[in-house]
Amino acid sequence: MMYDDALLARLTAGLAGVLCCWGLAADTTLRLLTISENATFLAETPEGARTIFRVHRPGYHSRAEIAAELAWISALARDGVVATPVPLPARDGSTIVAFADGATERLAVAFTFMPGDEPAAAADLAGWYGQLGEITARLHRHARHWQRPADFTRKRWDFTTIIGPGAHWGDWRTAPGLDAAGRAVLEQTAMLLERQTAAYGQSADNFGLVHCDMRTANLLAAGDRLAVIDFDDCGFSWYGYDFAASLSFMEHEPFVPALTRAWVEGYRRVAPFAAADEAALPMFVMLRRLQLTAWIASHGETPTAQAFGADYVRGTVALGAAYLRQPALEPA
């Protein structure tokens, strides 16, 4: 699916046509904010009231999966676990509104507007990651004890669905610029990761409901407050994978060890984080890097994929080669 000007114009017009479902007038303006899995818009009334709208990519999440995401966000906000924009129901009480884009049904959801900016790498990123570790621990604690609705359904993120035969984001082997030598390195890396994740296992202690995308683009810093947005990829995975996802697109940076230490220290201020789980973090970071390499291949129409492209893929090969030289991860 190509997010070209014609498609974006149709999405804008289609969303404008259902703003009335949330009680917004026709003179509300819409501005595209981001394109990733979905298209995210800012709606602003002449009086200055602002609302965030997300128009979902068809075929990625079902209506039931979107409803489950919104249910968890609402519970987190209600229970005071994390600062996050909350879903806004339409006037009829529904949280998901559909509109037609030709023969395609588009699903739209609305959230409260929350001010803030992405934490910048040039600033005290390690300080923010200490706070992010605390937030992540609270999210995991909530996930462990929250009584989910009976119809709650979200995707599972394990080896098979991250980079294996059932990968939700496609095959990393089709990544741009990947040559035969690089593919051989990553094949070895993937086989090692498969063995390591199997040895690490999945238990109630290390696997559950997680955000799965707390990268800096999904954090809003304002003053000393750090908020988390975009639970679109939330699902069932390893708790340590939340840290790996937070490093998305910067796994190769020299400051990663400092972020790792800060995150673990922050997590342990709130909840236990076993030494075996800390030792597994590099495994999850490599797993995530391969997953994002597949994402770049399958989402080439997005600005993010275009910005990273073949350079990111070559970086993945370098990281894979370095990972193969590391001592083997001991089973938990």
Domain parsing of the chain, residue ranges = 5-112, 125-324
* DSSP secondary structure code for residue 240 in this structure: H
Q: Give the residue among 20, 17, 12, 77 at the shortest CA–CA distance from 41.
A: 12
Answer whether residue 332 shows pLDDT above 60: no
pLDDT grade for 328, boundaries at 50, 70 and 90:
low
Q: Kind of pairing, strands 219-222 and 29-35? A: unpaired
Contact of 118 with 221, CB cutoff 8 Å: yes
Per-residue CA distances from 83 to 12, 244, 272 (Å): 28, 21, 22
The CATH number of domain 5-112, selected from 3.30.360.10, 1.10.800.10, 3.30.200.20, 3.90.1150.10? 3.30.200.20
* N-to-C CA span, the chain: 41
Stated pTM of the model: 0.94
Q: Report the percentage of the chain scoring pLDDT > 90.
A: 89
Which pair of tokens denotes residue 32? 């595209």
Contact call for residues 278 and 268 (beta carbons, < 8 A): no
Q: How far apart, in whole angstroms, are the C-alpha atoms of residue 70 and residue 83?
A: 14
CB atoms within 10 A of CB 278: 17
With cut-offs at 50, 70 and 90, classify the pLDDT of residue 2: low
Under 8 Å CB-to-CB from 251, ≥6 apart: which residues? Answer: 285, 286, 288, 289, 319
Do 69 and 77 contact (CB within 8 A), yes or no? no
Determine the pLDDT at residue 329.
Answer: 64
The pLDDT value recorded for residue 210 is 98
Express each pLDDT in 90-133 by its tens digit: 999 999 999 999 999 999 999 999 999 999 765 689 999 999 99
Q: How far, in Å, CA of 327 to CA of 310, rounded?
A: 28
The pLDDT score that the predictor gives to residue 255 is 93
6 CB burial (10 A radius; 0-12, 13-18, 19+): exposed
Chain segment 158-183, per-residue pLDDT in tens: 999 999 999 999 999 999 999 999 99
Q: How far, in Å, CA of 150 to CA of 222, rounded? A: 36
For residues 56 and 173, give the distance between their C-alpha atoms in angstroms, rounded to a whole number: 26
Distances (CA, A) of 229 to 40, 157, 212, 234, 316: 12, 19, 11, 11, 27
Confidence of residue 35 (pLDDT cuts 50, 70, 90): confident
Q: Where are the alpha helices (DSSP H) in 79-150?
A: 125-145
Which CATH superfamily, name and number, covers 125-324?
A: Aminoglycoside phosphotransferase (APH), C-terminal lobe (3.90.1200.10)
Helix (H) or strand (E) holding 18: helix 5-18
Q: Residue 237: enclosing H or E segment and its boundaries?
A: strand 235-238
List the structure tokens of 262: 């800060």
Q: What's the average model confidence in pLDDT over 184-192?
A: 98
Of 70 and 327, the structure prediction assigns the larger pLDDT to 70
Kindly calculate the radius of gyration of the chain based on its CA atoms and give it in whole angstroms. 20
- Tell me the β-bridge partners of 297: none
pLDDT(222) > 60: yes
Which tokens belong to 311? 């350079």
**Sign of torsion, CA 70 72 75 79?**
negative
